[in-house]
Amino acid sequence: MSWKRLAVIGATVAGMLLTAAAPSYAADPKPGPGPAGRPVPLSMVAAIAYANCVSGGATSADTTVANQLRAQMNGHLGGNALNSYHVSCARVIAATAAGRGLDKRAAVIAITTAITESTLHNYTEAVDHDSLGLFQQRPSAGWGTPAQLTDPVYATNAFLNAMIRKYPNNAWMSGDIGAICQAVQVSAYPDAYSAQVHDAQLLADALWTGGGGSGASRYWVDTYAAAPVFASPTSTAQTGTLNAGTNYVFCKAWGRQIGSGSSYNHWWLKTDPDTGPANQYVSAYYLSRWGNDEARDNNGVVIPDCAGGSRPKYWVDTFAAAPVFASPTSTSQTGTLNAGTNYVFCKAWGRQIGSGSAYNHYWLKTDPDSGPAEQFVSAYYLSRWGNDEARDNNGTVIPDC
């Protein structure tokens, strides 16, 4: 085969495909961003600057999907318009929804919106005010910075956050998809979305990731060395080997730590190894790129959780909206964690945050309400415990990252 994110939950939680509840993306009682821009006119689609949705561009697998679906499309992408670039953009949207544990319907809703707004183009040039990206989201309306809105993963998460905020308690799981798109986008063209649902469903069906196994979608990763594989993320009995090179994986699960020196990873990737039985696990430590406790494919897409494989979460109460940062020592804010009950993954020592006699050097890795996932918030914002303590609501010490 060698060719081969803390979020407020309040009283509402977002549905998960692979686990029972998704408090990580629960509804925020505060208002969300303002309206997105109007859809890009079809006559202008080819004349506006746009960027790849994935690093390196579309893949041969995207071409295969485009060839399979092209004749079935009947919306903006009908008339033989569907190509591998469109598929690559839809693939990022689907993978982002799957990576959050949402039902496939979330991907259908998001892809419907992106087809309507941009005909699945990651536009870097604004032609309607300051609207950018797949969803034509506006920096001036609070959706994010221009750089963020032209990052398809960020833009998709921003859309999904707004959807869940407006449709708490999994309300987006039912009702007219076009109406849900309109409620999120607040478009001047409310009837534009429904005509694209058919095509979005076809794309989501073709690109949706499963929970592992030979029938699941594949994520391509580079591994830097031959790696032992195991029957589970906690097993210590080697069952085979995955050779160095470009390989595919299906999903990720949290397990025992593998590493050397300051490099480590707790994620394990389900794969079909070069030797030994299929559907085994290899440590994400062997990935040629990314950092500690990250599990992304070569395009930077977060590999979705296997069934029952999600990362342990520790629930904490925070007393105020808190800034989040990319690391415990960074001073550049990347987003915000709202006040309330949130989850964190682990803690790390960093710069001191405090006021008066209250302070804390610990930082907690979390998925914030705004900004990218896997950021750090100061344990100073915990509603209980003392200086330089980092415990969850039950008093359990949060483990080190």
Rounded to whole angstroms, the Cα distance separating 226 from 14 reads 39
Residues 78, 158 share a domain: yes
Residues 41, 185 share a domain: yes
Mean pLDDT of 34-46: 59
For residue 292 the two structure tokens come to: 């500690």
Residue 387 belongs to some domain of the structure: no
- Which of 36-50, 288-302, 307-321 has the weakest average pLDDT? 36-50
Residues 27, 171 share a domain: yes
Residue 6 belongs to some domain of the structure: no
Mean pLDDT of 33-54: 70
- Output the average pLDDT for the chain: 84
Residues 344, 327 share a domain: yes
Residues 325, 214 share a domain: no
Residues 79, 202 share a domain: yes
Rounded to whole angstroms, the Cα distance separating 248 from 303 reads 11
Residue 39 belongs to some domain of the structure: yes
* Domain end call among 207, 229, 245: 207
For residue 206 the two structure tokens come to: 């073709």
Residues 217, 181 share a domain: no
| CB 7, CB 368: distance < 8 Å | yes
pLDDT digit string (tens) for 316-358?
999 999 999 999 999 999 999 999 999 998 999 999 999 999 9
Residues 116, 94 share a domain: yes
pLDDT digit string (tens) for 74-120?
988 888 889 999 999 999 999 888 878 788 999 999 999 999 999 99
Residues 340, 227 share a domain: no
Residues 173, 251 share a domain: no
| CB 345, CB 356: distance < 8 Å | no
Containing structural domain, residue 107: 23-207
For residue 324 the two structure tokens come to: 């989040």
Residue 394 belongs to some domain of the structure: no
* Domain end call among 282, 310, 338: 310
Select the more confidently predicted residue: 54 or 238. Answer: 238
Residue 4 belongs to some domain of the structure: no
Residue 1 belongs to some domain of the structure: no
Q: Which residue has the tokens 């919306």?
A: 75
Residue 18 belongs to some domain of the structure: no
Residue 117 belongs to some domain of the structure: yes
Amino acid identity for residue 67 in this structure: N
Whole-number percent of the chain with pLDDT over 90: 55
Local structure of 263: helix, strand or coil: strand
**8: pLDDT strictly greater than 60:** no
Reference 86, options 39, 134, 149, 135; nearest CA is: 134
Residues 303, 164 share a domain: no
Residue 345 to residues 7, 160, 314: CA-CA distances in angstroms? 12, 22, 6
pLDDT digit string (tens) for 134-157?
999 999 888 989 999 999 999 999
Rounded to whole angstroms, the Cα distance separating 336 from 89 reads 27
* Domain end call among 207, 233, 253: 207
Rounded to whole angstroms, the Cα distance separating 166 from 140 reads 20
pLDDT digit string (tens) for 240-264?
999 998 888 988 999 999 999 999 9
Number of structural domains (the chain) is 3
Contacts of 287 by beta carbon, 8 Å cutoff, 6+ apart? 221, 222, 223, 224, 265, 294, 295, 296
Residues 259, 225 share a domain: yes
